[in-house]
Structure 1
């Protein structure tokens, strides 16, 4: 692995760095991480957009964030 790294490092130029670094693979991974270009996803399918905002989370004056009781119980028991 080190020899392959050294070979790529020595061969790198501003013209070929994207190919040597696997930029296309990296870009695809980041896009999929954030929900874009995910294989099998129908982006034309309608989705629900009527969601509560802000989310139903309670913030105490101290800055602590507490979940509503039903959620907290489920989170602790699961």
Structure 2
């Protein structure tokens, strides 16, 4: 999975998501070079959910079924 900038450049290549105890371990590379391991804790996951409104939740659910497009 890749996270890209608005200029369509690779920001982060996520290579794996896995459970690490009570946390989610995210492993990948930032800007194609720097290896990184990030941990998402239950507290931070709850904080992320607070950032979402109903419209964004619906968008995220439908995003799974949309065709991929490159940004213009």
| TM-score of the alignment, normalized to the shorter chain, above 0.5 | no
More strand per residue: 1 or 2? 2
Larger relative contact order (Cα-Cα within 8 Å, sequence gap ≥ 6):
2
Structure of larger gyration radius: 1
More helix per residue: 1 or 2? 1
